[in-house]
Amino acid sequence: MSSERRYLLERVDDVAVVQLYADGFASLSLREKTLAWHLYLAALAGRDIYYDQRHALGLDMRSVLEAIVTHPNGVDPKVLHEVRRYAKLFWINSGPYNNITARKFVLRLTRQELFDAAQAAARNGATLGRRPSESVERLIDRLAPMFLDASVDPTVTSKTPGLGRDILTASSNNLYSGVTATQLETFTERYGLNSRLTADNGRLVEEVYRIGGRYDREIRGIIGHLRAAMPFATPSMSEALRALIQFYETGEDADRIAYDIAWVRDQESPVDTINGFVEVYMDPRGVKGAWEGIVSYVNETKTRDIQALAANAQWFEDRMPWDPRFRKPDVAGVTARAIEVIVETGDSGPLTAVGINLPNDQAIREKYGSKSVSLANVSDAYERSTPEAMRVEFSWSGEEADRAKKWGGFAQELTTAMHEIIGHGSGRMAPGVTEPPHRLLGEQYSSVEEARADLVALYFLPDAKLVELGIVPGDHHHEIVATEYEYYVRNALVQLRRVREGTQIEEDHMRNRQMIVSWLLAHTSAVEVRRRDGNTYYVMVNATAFREGVGRLLAEVQRIKGEGDAAAARDLFETYGVHFDPALRDEIVVRVDRLQLPSYTGFVMPRLETRRDDAGAIVDVEISYPCDLETQMLEYSAFARRDDVLEPRSAAR
Ligand SMILES: [Zn+2]
């Protein structure tokens, strides 16, 4: 069956669109499926929050695009083609900004062409805007600069806007409105994670994301579906859902903490969800949470393989190559699982991570532990949709390319698991440091934390302990280490294809990977830059030197986090992680475009549907695969517009 399956569905510019499959869903019990169904609706119900957080006009822009796409009669075919191209990028990135470069992409039309298309859609009966009395003319006037002009609100998140510029005003997201970072220095935030901050006549106001506050409508919808899910949940999950509802109701940090703890404690349920304001990458300050919704279930087979890592977290902690004062004496329960994603929305989809470790709250991690998951079906779909040429083009030798083909999937999945379980889960703050590290490190925090987790994984990958635990086959250990190290240095080069404009990396994971490889190049003999036929290669030449260098760098990165040394963090990333040679990037872009290699991947999620008996009770939940981005995105948007499904309803219906 898998050979006939479609993974790569289409290419939109340099983006691959790939179908995600969740084979294990069908074997869940009816109760688990029904639970997943309600959580799935809760994930769809919050999706629009993220669009609004990315840009204040994001939802208005999406309405216009979807109106034209669904009412195309009389629209110039060339214009329609361009609207479709742009709309697909817009859906994949949840708004007008490239999620990786943080830069705006534009609709390649004139104002008149856009207006004519919108007018035609209106004539065909489309509801264009979200403001009832607005004319098409006024609507397009309001949105045209965002659609058409790359210089208007050019960057969603700008952590290093340049000397004298403010990180908040240089960033065009909707987490702040008219607020400068300087104003914040004398302001005490009460709802750091879950509010939009606005300046009202110079006075700062927190618009809290909660019932009765900002996103009231969406949050009511989410809560309704979470309530409907509760009767089908295990007792500990039910408790976590109750705590989540309370947090959505009050917005208070104490309730967020109670929820985080309840969520970490819920270890039994095979079906799980993440629903809320979670990751802070979009905020240049690294404080405000972007909304996301994920529903997943455990992949039992793959989970057995990686649980050994979690069970031995203390062994690794005791051997971390950093100052012993940063070692945790008692590693609290890290649970590690391989999961299969059913749906990801908001900040987590259509662009998705391959591993997640939550909660982000450092204090809760230290006391209660964390849940760490690797997204097995996402990794699998990535691997199956990666063109062979991607490995060959940037490998120095045939052996390197062969190793990548043979062990690449395995090595990367293992590295991701180690990154999440013994990476993010490890280490503690220096004695006496009470401020949380994200406050001390500010805009550098996320890059520091990602670097730390990667370095832990790279450092322990060659350790014989992995063979002893049965995680890595002893006969192939060297080959697997070489495969990962080679992949890692190659990636520093290949990832430049994602930053097609400018000379700066914004995305935190990309910054961290660039920093590590550039640092190794500068300080060790592990990596060489070679050229052949006008092409540049990063070649890993000495795995021992690589590991030794990684250990040294890790000691420093942990010190930076543990002491909250913001100056050292800035220096490290400014020197090695942020800037790159544009000529080298141009070379890489030419090479990947010649081979039509994608820069990143957007996923089409599985689709759930209920079968009900005559009384309306759910008798089965069926999973299917739409294999079409546009269909799915239009379905999700239509869902959010329907009031009836946003209301709480009894489980029987
Ligand atoms: Zn990470």
- Are the C-beta atoms of residues 436 and 360 closer than 8 Å to each other? no
Reported confidence tier of residue 3, pLDDT bands at 50, 70, 90: low
Distance of CA 423 from the midpoint of ligand 1 (Å): 8
Percent of the chain with pLDDT over 90: 79
583, pLDDT greater than 70: yes
CB 640 within 8 A of CB 633: no
Separation of 353 CA from ligand 1 center, angstroms? 9
The two three-digit tokens of residue 13, written as one number? 């510019």
C-alpha span between 390 and 62 (Å, rounded):
33
Half-sphere exposure of 540 (CA within 13 A, CB side): 26
225 has pLDDT over 80? yes
Lowest mean pLDDT among 89-93, 336-340, 631-635: 336-340
* Distance from Cα 455 to the centre of ligand 1, integer Å: 11
Q: Is residue 416 pLDDT above 50, yes or no? A: yes
Angle between helices 445-460 and 398-418 (to 10 degrees): 120
Q: Give pLDDT, residue 650.
A: 35
419 Cα: distance to centroid of ligand 1 (angstroms): 6
Cα 571 to middle of ligand 1, angstroms: 21
Highest mean pLDDT among 104-108, 366-370, 414-418, 427-431: 104-108
Distance 108 CA to ligand 1 centre (A): 35
Distance 356 CA to ligand 1 centre (A): 7
Tell me the per-residue pLDDT of 444-466, one tens digit each, with 9 for 90 and over.
Answer: 999 999 999 999 999 999 999 99
Cα(619) to centroid of ligand 1, in Å?
39
The alpha carbon of 421 and the centre of ligand 1 are apart by a number of angstroms equal to 10
Q: Is the pLDDT at 2 greater than 70, yes or no?
A: no
Q: Which of 351-355, 617-621, 643-647 has the lowest mean pLDDT?
A: 643-647
* Helices and strands, number each (H, E), in the chain: 25, 15
Beta-bridge partner residues of 338: 374
The CA 358 to ligand 1 mean position distance, Å, reads: 10
491: closest CA among 461, 524, 514?
A: 514
For residue 603, report the phi and psi dihedrals to the nearest 5 degrees. Answer: -110, 140
The confidence score (pLDDT) of residue 647 equals: 35
Q: How far is the CA of 255 from the centre of ligand 1 (A)?
A: 25
Q: How far is the CA of 395 from the centre of ligand 1 (A)?
A: 26
Backbone angles phi, psi at 355, to 5 degrees: -150, 150
438 CA from centroid of ligand 1 (Å)? 14
Report CA dihedral (541, 552, 426, 304) to the nearest 10 degrees.
20
Residue with token string 């208007």: 152
| Cα–ligand 1 centroid distance for 481 (angstroms) | 20
Cis amide leading into 132 (omega within 30): no
Model confidence pLDDT, tens digit, residues 368-411: 988 888 899 999 999 889 888 888 999 999 999 999 999 998 99
Distance between Cα 49 and ligand 1 center (Å): 23
Distance 584 CA to ligand 1 centre (A): 27
Measured in angstroms, how far is the CA atom of residue 453 from the centroid of ligand 1?
6
Using CA atoms, how far apart are residues 298 and 373, in angstroms rounded to an integer?
Answer: 9
Three-state SS string over 318-360 comes to HCCCCCHHHCCCCCCCEEEEEEEEEEEEECCCCCCCCEEEECC
Please tell me the distance between residue 450's alpha carbon and the centre of ligand 1 in angstroms. 5
- Residue 201, pLDDT score: 84
Place of tokens 């391959």: 354
Q: How far is the CA of 420 from the centre of ligand 1 (A)?
A: 6
Strands 607-612, 618-624: pairing is: antiparallel
Q: Is residue 174 helix, strand or coil?
A: coil
Reading the block at residue 330, the tokens are 């008692």
User: Across-strand partners of 604?
Assistant: 19
Kindly give the distance from the C-alpha atom of residue 625 to the centroid of ligand 1, in angstroms, as a whole number. 29
Q: How far is CA 286 from CA 248, 280, 517, 556, in A?
A: 21, 5, 24, 21
- For residue 198, report the distance from its CA to the centre of ligand 1, in Å: 30
Q: Tell me how far the alpha carbon of residue 451 lies from the centroid of ligand 1, in angstroms.
A: 8
CA of 544 to the centre of ligand 1 (A): 24
Going by DSSP bridges, is the β-strand pair 334-346/355-358 parallel, antiparallel, or unpaired?
A: unpaired
DSSP code for 642: -
Whole-number Å distance, alpha carbon 309 to ligand 1 midpoint, is 16
How many whole angstroms from 20 Cα to the centroid of ligand 1? 21
* pLDDT, greater one: 26 or 642: 26
Q: Which of 297, 372, 231 is nearest to 606 (CA)?
A: 297
**Residue 331 pLDDT more than 70?**
yes
pTM: 0.86
Please tell me the predicted confidence (pLDDT) of residue 648: 34
Look up residue 151 and give its DSSP letter.
Answer: T
Confidence band for 28, pLDDT divided at 50, 70 and 90: very high
Structure tokens at 569: 């963090």
Confidence of residue 132 (pLDDT cuts 50, 70, 90): confident
The angle at the Cα of 181, spanning 349 to 171, to the nearest 5 degrees, equals 40
Q: Are strands 535-540 and 355-358 parallel, antiparallel or unpaired?
A: unpaired
Amino acid at 300: E
How far is ligand 1, taken at its centre, from the CA of residue 428, in Å? 16
> Looking at residues 515-523, what average pLDDT do you find?
98
